[in-house]
Amino acid sequence: MKIFITSKGRELDSKVDPRFGRAEYYIIYDTETAEFRAEENPFKKGQTAVGISLAQRVIEEGAQVAISGNFGPNAFEVLKAAEIRLFRAGGEMKVKEAVDAFLRGELPEMDSATPREVADRLEKELK
């Protein structure tokens, strides 16, 4: 199974990027081979629809699970429609820690998008 994780860097000990659409990088982790690949998020500086664009990338990458700190409403809608399961890795979790926690069934599954006010506060904190 392929897992899509938003990341602040290209390594497994990079931190999970708490933003979905504007994440710096994403990592595709294959649970069968324990191999991974990192890509720069090509949409991170886009003006609009960055969440939708990256959600489409998740589908194209063939991932069945996506892990991030937050999912905006549009990204959430696209990923849910594609029947991709979404999990939240909060705090300062590293990518590897998030993957392990997910495999142990310890990551909370998202049943709604991150509320706008929470997303705005997070965006401010990151600046």
Q: Helical H runs in the chain?
A: 50-60, 73-81, 95-103, 116-126
Identify which of residues 1 and 103 has a Cβ nearer to another protein in the complex.
1
CB of 39 to another protein, least distance (A): 18
Q: Do 10 and 114 meet the contact criterion of CB atoms below 8 Å apart?
A: no
Identify which of residues 48 and 112 has a Cβ nearer to another protein in the complex.
48
**Sole binder of another protein in the list 2, 11, 31, 56 (CB under 8 A):** 56
Roughly how many angstroms between the first and final C-alpha of the chain, as a whole number? 34
Q: What residues numbered 67-86 form the site for another protein, per CB under 8 A?
A: 74, 77-78, 81-83
CB of 28 to another protein, least distance (A): 18
- How far is Cα 61 from Cα 18, in angstroms, rounded to an integer? 20
Neighbour tally for 15: CB within 10 Å:
20
Identify which of residues 16 and 55 has a Cβ nearer to another protein in the complex.
55
Cα Rg, the chain, nearest whole Å: 13
Using a 10 angstrom Cβ sphere, with 0-12 exposed, 13-18 middle and 19 or more buried, the burial of residue 108 is: exposed
Q: Is 53 in the site for another protein (CB under 8 A)?
A: yes
**Sole binder of another protein in the list 23, 28, 38, 55 (CB under 8 A):** 55
Q: Which positions touch another protein (CB under 8 A)?
A: 48-49, 52-53, 55-56, 59, 74, 77-78, 81-83
